[in-house]
Amino acid sequence: MFWKDKSGVKRHSEQVRGVTSGDEAIVVFTDATSLTCLRVLKPGFRHCFVSLRRPQGWILIDPLSHKIDTFILEDVQTDQLLSWCRNHDCTAIRTRVRVDHRQSWVPVAPLTCVEVVKRVLGIQRRRIVTPWQLFCHLREQGAVPS
């Protein structure tokens, strides 16, 4: 399979690398939600999304109730992304992808923002269902809030 990069150069798909263990990620937690049912969740931790570091910038994956938004943030540095989070009253935590190829269970769960972020990061913990629980788990694993 072939594709063209932004400069028009034809490349082979083997030159495209997927997400692997150790890749840098930033998980962002926010209070912003239009869904009234989420008001019962901890303030500041009612929604979450994830950004993955790539050589060209970041891929932002924002799982919403009706769709999953994805953005490519080209030429955005880590400090710029973290600054944006602070300026928008978000809590950001820096972590790494941990892909365990030994799948311990078949993930049967509602497709929530937490579930999408867990799958992107390679987290296979059934009892993590809220953004606050995900935040606490990431801190326990050594991730540092920024």
- Could you tell me the pLDDT band of residue 108, with boundaries at 50, 70 and 90? confident
- Could you tell me the pLDDT band of residue 42, with boundaries at 50, 70 and 90? confident
- Could you tell me the pLDDT band of residue 103, with boundaries at 50, 70 and 90? low
Between 9 and 121, name the one with better pLDDT: 121
Task: Find the domain containing 141 and state its range.
Answer: 18-145
Using CA atoms in the order 17, 18, 19, 23, what is the torsion angle rounded to 10 degrees?
10
Q: Is residue 11 in a domain?
A: no
Pairwise CA distance, residues 146 & 132, whole Å: 16
Per cent of the chain over pLDDT 70 is 79
Total domains in the chain come to 1
Q: What is the mean pLDDT of residues 87-97?
A: 94
Q: Is residue 66 in a domain?
A: yes
Q: Is the pLDDT of residue 112 over 70?
A: yes
52, exposed or middle or buried, with CB in 10 Å at 0-12, 13-18, 19+?
Answer: middle
- Could you tell me the pLDDT band of residue 15, with boundaries at 50, 70 and 90? very low
b/e string for 12-34 if b means 16 or more Cβ within 10 A?
A: eeeeeeebeeebebbbbbbbeee
Q: What count of Cα atoms within 13 Å lies in the side-chain half-sphere of residue 139?
A: 10
Q: Is residue 7 in a domain?
A: no
What residues pair up with 48 in beta bridges, in sequence order? 29
| The predicted structure's pLDDT at residue 137 | 96
Q: What is the mean pLDDT of residues 10-31?
A: 74
| The predicted structure's pLDDT at residue 104 | 64
Phi, psi angle pair for 86, to nearest 5°: -60, -40
Per cent of the chain over pLDDT 90 is 50
> Is the whole model's pTM more than 0.85, yes or no?
no
Q: Is the pLDDT of residue 124 over 50?
A: yes
Residue 124 in tokens: 């296979």
| The predicted structure's pLDDT at residue 73 | 92
Contact 26, 81 (CB under 8 A): yes
Q: What is the mean pLDDT of residues 72-80?
A: 91
